[in-house]
Amino acid sequence: MTTISGLSGNEVYCLHRQGLTPGELVIGNSVISLGLIGSVGAGLKTLAGGEVRGVTAVIHDGRKRAIERLHEEARHNGGYGVTGVSSELIFHGTNIEFLAVGSCVRQNAEPSRTPEFSSACDGQALYCLQDAGFTPKHFVFGNVAYSIGLGGGFIGMLRSLGRGEVVEFSEIFNRTRHLALERIREEAKHAGANAVTGIRTSILPLAGMQEMVMTGTASTHPALPASAHDMPITSDLTHEEMWSLANQGYMPVQLVLGVSVYSLGLIGGISAFFKSFARGEISELTSLIYAARERALLRIGEDARDAGADQVLGVKTYVYNLGGGIIEFLAIGTAVRKMPGAHTLGDTLPPQAIIRDQDTFINTADTSSAYSLGQPTNARGSVGLFIGMGLALVAFAIFIVKILVIFH
C-alpha cells in the first residue's frame, strides 16, 4: 500500500534518526453554523466587556471535535504518533469549518494500536524537542472569544477622548489574553504534561468579535521542578531555540505577555489627521506608539520577575489599530532561567533539523476566508487609522456647528 504523507524530505531524515518512519496524512474536521455565534454575539451590547463565554465554548468544542477525529483517523491508520498538527478556520458562507491536519509516524515501520502522542511540531522540531530531553504528549490549545462590550466600551470611549492609556481597554485585553494562556496550561496538565512548548498565538476575527488562540505541544521533562506538574511551564520559543537553551543549561519558565491600549485623543487625532497631508514626522503618533510599547514591555518584565526568571527571550511586538485613533500594543516573549539537569542528548544538531523547507506551490488566490493558526498579524492597516481620524474630525465639526446654531 502506498503511503501518502505530508512530511518533507528533511522531516523524514530527522524522524528516521529517532527510529520513526512516515505514515499517512490524517485529517479531522467539524462544521458549525454562524447563526448560533451570531445570536450569541447579538447580545454583546449588554455586556460589560471581556470574554464571551458562550462563543468561547462553541469554538472550543468545534476545534476539539476536529482534533479528536484526527486522532481517530490516526488510530485507524496504525500511527504511533501524529506530527505537525495544525488547526485552520475555513468560512463556507454562513458556516465555519474547523480543520485539523497532521501526519502519522510509525515506530520501526510497524502499525500501532493507538497513537502514543500528537504534536504541533513538524518532524524537524520534534527532533529538536526530543534531543533537548522533552517527551511529547499531546497537541493542546487554549482559546478565548472576547469583545469590548458596552460597559468597557462606553467608559473607554469617553476616556479615549483624552490622550493616553485607555485603562478599561487595557484591562479587558490583558485579562482575555491571559485566559488563553491559562487554558492551554490546563489542557497540558490534564494530559499529564509539565510543559507546553512551541506555542503559537493567533488573533482571528469572528462574527464581530475576536478570538485569541494558542496552540502548542504538551510535553514532559525530568529536569523541571515538581511545581510544573500543577502549573506547566509555557514557551513560545521555537524548538531549535529550545535545544540551544537546553544545551547551555537553561529552561523556559513561562510565556509572558503585556498589553497596553492607548488613545491619540480627539484633539491629537485631528492634529495628526491634518499633519498626515504633509511630509514629515507625525509627532503625536510617534510618542503615542512609544508610550504604548514601553507600557507593554513593563508588564512583561513584571510577569518575568514574578516567575523568578533570569531573562526574557524572543520578545515579539505587534501593533493593532482599533480605529478612531486607538492603538493596542501587544508584546510576547518567554522567560527563562538556569536549571540543574538541563542538557541536550547530542552536542550538535544535524543540518536537516534546521533547514527550512521551501513552498513549491505559490497560491495567489484570495485566502481571506481561511485562517491558519500562526503568529498574530495586524488585521487593519493605516487606512483604518485615517478613517477613524476622519470620523473624529467630522463628529467634532458637527458638534461645533450645533454649538454655533444654539448660540446664534
Q: Pairing mode, if any, of strands 164-165 and 195-206?
A: unpaired
- Report the C-alpha dihedral over residues 129, 133, 137, 143, rounded to 10 degrees: -60
Length of the chain: 408
- Between CA 159 and CA 304 the distance in angstroms is 30
Taking each helix axis from N to C end, the angle separating 123-131 and 9-17, rounded to the nearest 10 degrees, works out to: 30
Q: CB of 176 within 8 A of CB of 168?
A: no
pLDDT at 204: 83
Q: Are 260 and 239 in contact (CB under 8 A)?
A: no
Predicted structure pTM score: 0.81
Q: How far is CA 162 from the centre of its chain?
A: 31
What secondary structure does DSSP assign to 265-326, as a single string?
-HHHHHHHHHHTTSSS--HHHHHHHHHHHHHHHHHHHHHHHHTT-SEEEEEEEEEEEEETTE
In this prediction, residue 407 carries a pLDDT of 52
Per-residue burial over 257-283, b if 16 or more Cβ lie within 10 Å, else e, is bbbbbbbbbbebbbbbbeeeeeeeebe
The predicted structure's pLDDT at residue 398: 46
pLDDT of residue 279: 59
Q: Is 263 helix (H, G, I), strand (E, B) or coil?
A: strand
Distance CA 379, CA 320 (A): 7
How far from 20 is each of 161, 181, 263, 313, CA to CA, in Å? 60, 31, 53, 32
Confirm if 183 and 213 have CB atoms less than 8 A apart.
Answer: no
Rounded-to-integer distance, Cα 230 and Cα 247, Å? 26
Determine the Cα–Cα distance for residues 193 and 188; give it in Å rounded to an integer: 5
* Mean pLDDT per 10-residue segment, the chain (408 residues): 90 94 95 74 54 88 96 93 93 89 87 85 96 97 79 44 69 86 96 96 80 95 94 96 96 93 60 51 70 88 92 90 76 95 95 87 60 43 40 46 51
23: how many CB neighbours lie within 10 A of its CB?
28
Check residue 94 and give its pLDDT.
Answer: 80
pLDDT score of 179: 94
Q: Is 32 exposed, middle or buried (0-12, 13-18, 19+ CB in 10 A)?
A: middle
What DSSP line would sit under 6-59, residue for residue? ---HHHHHHHHHTTEEEEEEEEEEEEEEHHHHHHHHGGGGGS-SEE-HHHHHHH
Cα 382 to Cα 363: distance, rounded to the nearest angstrom: 25
Domain extents in the chain:
9-343+369-407
| Torsion on CA atoms 53, 56, 58, 63, rounded to nearest 10 | -160
In 3D space, the residue among 170, 168, 199 whose CA is nearest the CA of residue 183 turns out to be: 199
Report the distance separating Cα 65 and Cα 96, nearest Å.
13
Quote the pLDDT of residue 248. Answer: 96
Type of residue at 92: H
